[in-house]
Amino acid sequence: MAGESPASHRRDPIKHSGMFSFLKSSWVDFDLLFKVFGNAAVQRRRQHVLSVAKERREAMFRTKRLCMEGNSISFYAATDGEMMIDEEPPVLESQTAKAVEELKLAISFMGKDAVQKKVNTLRELRRLLSRSGFPFVKIALRSGAIPLLAQCLSFGSEDEQLLEAAWCLTNIAAGTPEQTKALLPTLPLLIAHLGEKSSSSVSEQCAWALGNVAGESGELRDLLISQGALIPLAKMMLPDNGSTVRTAAWALSNLIKGPDPDAATELIKIDGVVDAILRHLKKSDIELAIEVSWVVVYLSALSDVATSVLLKTDIVQILVDRLAASNNLQSIIPLLRSLGNLMSSDAYTTNVVLDPGHEITGYIIHSLSNCLKSEHRFLKKEAAWVLSNIAAGSVAHKQLICKSEAVSLLLQLLAGAPFDIKKEVAYVLGNLCVAPADGLGRPSLLLDHLVSFVRNGCLFGFIDLVRQADLEAARIGLHFIELVLRGMPNGEGRKLVEKAGGIDAIERFQVHENEDLRMMAANGQAGGIEKSLTGPQTVMRLVV
């Protein structure tokens, strides 16, 4: 289950409250900044969903899946070298072309055992198409397989025939983009067989084929939605048939993955879907929970409507419970993603759903701290991202994090983790240093947090970010340096920045082509390194 590229798409659902906005109100229109960045938060969350696909591949999933043996629809990733092929290529090419030709003859045959003859030839073609390492699909398409398979999907056909035909199409759709598009004439039939009139095995196999098509491109997703695939796939999630629900959920996650939120919004409004999601997440079936969790990932990343609906349920508690109980990497990833998306929605989530006085809040921080200690770098990065959204909440949330072991872990990661993790950690620590706006609409600095972090050596990590080629990381580092320059007591900030090598890091951006970074570098200098501030400055606030 994977697709386009993991934070190829950078992690966008990051909460935008308050970091580095404590500067004098006369310098900045804070109301305008909060409004601008609040809107940006929604857009970033929607864009962020594009990163999920590649990260799922890194978690050993594929957007498109080859269906091997067995009718129970258990998933196999098609990998090079799987199902070793002993025959010579000319023999295999001949076998594939012959299988298509025999299917053509079987379809025209009207005698006794005509149905069984079609089933046998379909099964042989399916077995060839279920192999990897040889261009069976290309040969089958060149031989004219698609119109023949479409005929075999006609209503009134035996279930076994329908199943084998859909299976062949599933594996053709698992091929190249051009091969997937070859299924276009069969899509209405595949969608039609998702209905209640079809057996569960047939509808499940058709859902698998459609999931492969949806995983190919946005163009094909839009086509499937326009042809009515969303509702029947959603209804397949309603029963308690684990295999069917698992396949339908996987296909749905490919179908709604955006960036357009309309499909996700339509899905959440379908009667029974929310109850089904909650019910399936509570079950002990890990594979089922993984697929349903990915549906939640896309719903919460793309649709504000879906996020609002989900937050009115106990889904956060369910996700936290599963996270705390899980030691399975493939299940932890979507759980973290779902929680992070939900935490990035609005103040209601962090201030009400995660009330600092409730046990669930401490529970999730503890679970996230365990992820920070994981040997898997991806989990560390994900956990830091979720924490950054909680850290953007109330002062009570910030204090709860600071009292946990998370802070010491974050400081260690900022000092020595790989760059991508370090950048996520910087968001958390930065958010912990600034309180949200008070009743007068003025954010304020949490001086005790800033001083504690700086005393424990975090400034070196932020200055290192300024030296990186990544402009987002540089922006984070520049903002934190400004916090230190303007916020540390007794004018200590200047000495600390000089000692940590921050002056050279800032000067790099004084002639940078990026205007925002030039301004921040100038503000950093104005904050006490070269001269005192003589007038109003435009201060860019970090999007957190």
SS (H, E, C) 52-115: HHHHHHHCCCCCCCECCCCCCCCCECCCCCCCCCCCCHHHHHHHHHHHHHHHHHHHHCCCCCHH
- Considering only 86-100, 204-218, 511-525, which range has the smallest mean pLDDT? 511-525
Q: Which of 43-47, 127-131, 166-170, 345-349 has the lowest mean pLDDT?
A: 43-47
Confidence class of residue 455 from pLDDT cuts 50, 70 and 90?
A: very high
Question: Is the confidence at residue 542, as pLDDT, over 90?
Answer: no
Angle at 466 between CA 465 and CA 471, to 5 degrees: 90
Helices 406-416 and 359-372 pack at an angle, to 10 degrees, of 30
What is the pLDDT of the chain when averaged over all its residues?
80
Which token pair is 14?
């990051």
Q: What mean pLDDT comes out for the span 263-273?
A: 97
Tell me phi and psi for residue 339, to 5 degrees: -60, -45
Cα separation, 444 vs 422, in Å, equals 25
pLDDT of residue 29 exceeding 90 = no
For residues 119-146, give the mean pLDDT.
88
Task: Centre a 10 Å sphere on the Cβ of residue 93 and count the other Cβ atoms it contains.
Answer: 18
Is residue 12 over pLDDT 70? no
Strand partners, 117: none
* Confidence at residue 6, expressed as pLDDT on a 0 to 100 scale: 32
Q: Identify residue 494 by its one-letter amino acid code.
A: R
- The DSSP symbol for 211 reads H
Using the predicted structure, report yes or no on whether residue 357 has a pLDDT greater than 70.
yes
State the pLDDT at residue 87: 57
pLDDT digits (tens, 9 = 90+) for 69-108: 544 444 433 333 334 345 566 777 888 899 999 999 999 9
For residue 294, pLDDT over 90 is answered with: yes
pLDDT at 360 (0 to 100): 87
Top pLDDT among 320 and 524 is at: 320
- How many Å apart are CA 437 and CA 443, to the nearest integer? 4
For the residues 381-405, what does the mean pLDDT come to?
Answer: 91
**Crossing angle of helices 377-391 and 359-372, rounded to 10°:** 150
pLDDT score recorded for residue 24:
31
How far apart CA 432 and CA 387 sit, in angstroms, is 10
The number of beta carbons lying within 10 Å of the beta carbon of residue 369 is 19
Print burial letters for 254-276: b (CB count within 10 Å at least 16), e (below 16): bbbbbebbebbbbbbebeebbeb
pLDDT value at 35 more than 80: no
Chain center to CA of 423: 18
| Mean pLDDT, rounded, for 179-196 | 95
Residue type, 139: I
Give the total residue count for the chain: 544
**Residue 67 has what pLDDT?**
74
In angstroms, the CA 3 to CA 6 distance is: 9
Tell me if 161 sits within 8 A of 119, measured CB to CB: yes
CA distances from 191 to 66, 188, 199 (A): 19, 5, 13
The radius of gyration of the chain's CA atoms, rounded to the nearest angstrom, is 27
Which tops the pLDDT comparison, 233 or 385?
A: 233
Position 165 pLDDT exceeds 90: yes
Between 236-250, 437-451, 495-509, the lowest mean confidence (pLDDT) is in: 437-451
